[in-house]
Amino acid sequence: MNTCEKVRMQLGLLLYGELSFDEEETVDAHLESCAECRAALERERELHAAFDAQEIEPPASVLWESRQNLQRQIAAEHSPSPRVSWWDQFLDARWLRSAGALALLSIGFFGARMFPSLGLGITGMSMVDPGAQRVRSVEPGPNGGIQIVLDETRQRVVSGGLDDQNIRVLLLSAAKDPSDPGLRYETVGILNDRAQAAEVRDTLIYALEHDENAGVRLKAMDGLRPFVKQPEVRKALSGVLLSDGNPGMRTQAIDLLTQGVGESTNPALGRDIIGTLQELMNRENNAYVRQRGERVLQLVNASQETY
């Protein structure tokens, strides 16, 4: 094996920084004098860059779900007794349990922060008062005293069903809280069970169009699934198809907008949806999404793109 062959076998390890000091010295010295091996090093770099592009970053929603499941399993293992609690017996329906849990654990903070006067109107309310405080300003007062202005945030626990208007108002606000995607995800999941109400549907459409977290957007899309025939929902889904950065979202949007196409009870596909799909074909670069769009256009005998 000549020197060039030996060096080329080590180029990969050189890029990974896995050669010994002496090996790296030998390779570097050879590269200085050999143009062909330098070109081979460039090709090795391109190969590494191509590998880099393959990496998949797990979506936030998958990580979130995994953490939730782990927490549940550990809580189950940790639980000293398998007996069913009064809470489980009482709140049998799953959505109601989630709603109750969220109301008890999470919403109290919003209740105090955004609707300080709301508490009186909420039934079954209890108070938890850790007394969070922040000094807003400090001034010397009369007679050597000090005047301190405090901002106070009180945590308050509220509970109630989804039919309770106060609870619903809190949930609609929590669904838009920019600081906590986990809270938005849970809240949208709960609101999905009440999407027949116009105000809830509007919030889900807002989340679908504007939430920066793909997991929350996907959850909102789930809630809108039964209302796909409504014009405002179709419009929002068309927007997702053409502008959402997440290919998984675009795939789901195609599926929703074209439900039932190709089945025996073949519903007609509106011209607006066909136009949106053709527009998508003009710009889509994800192979899987393209394939889904193409399949639908073939089924309705429409051309693949607009020209």
Contact set for another protein, span 78-137 (CB under 8 A): 78
Q: Which is nearer to another protein, 164 or 284 (CB)?
A: 284
Taking CB under 8 A as the rule, does residue 12 contact another protein? yes
Closest to 207 measured CA to CA, from 193, 196, 219: 219
Burial (CB count within 10 angstroms: exposed 0-12, middle 13-18, buried 19+), residue 34: middle
Taking CB under 8 A as the rule, does residue 26 contact another protein? no
Of the candidate spans 193-201, 232-240, 242-250, 253-261, the one that interacts with another protein by CB under 8 A turns out to be: 242-250
Residues facing 148 on adjacent strands: 138
Taking CB under 8 A as the rule, does residue 3 contact another protein? no
What is the distance between the alpha carbons of residues 6 and 83, in angstroms, rounded to a whole number?
Answer: 68
Q: Is 12 left (phi over 0), alpha (psi -120 to 50) or beta?
A: alpha
* Residue 21: CB minimum distance to another protein, A: 15
Other Cβ atoms less than 10 A from the Cβ of 278: the count is 17
Contact set for another protein, span 276-295 (CB under 8 A): 280, 282-289, 291, 294-295
Residues facing 133 on adjacent strands: 152
Residue 148: DSSP 8-state? E
Taking CB under 8 A as the rule, does residue 250 contact another protein? yes
> How many residues interact with another protein (rule CB under 8 A)?
50
What does the per-residue mask of binding to another protein show for 41-80, with x meaning CB under 8 A? --x--xxx-xxxxxxxxxx--xx-xxx-xx--xx--xx--
Closest to 156 measured CA to CA, from 97, 92, 103: 103
Q: Which is nearer to another protein, 38 or 48 (CB)?
A: 48
Pairing of strands 126-127, 156-157: antiparallel
**Which stretches of the chain bind another protein, using CB under 8 A?**
9, 12-13, 16, 18, 43, 46-48, 50-59, 62-63, 65-67, 69-70, 73-74, 77-78, 242, 245-248, 250-251, 280, 282-289, 291, 294-295, 298
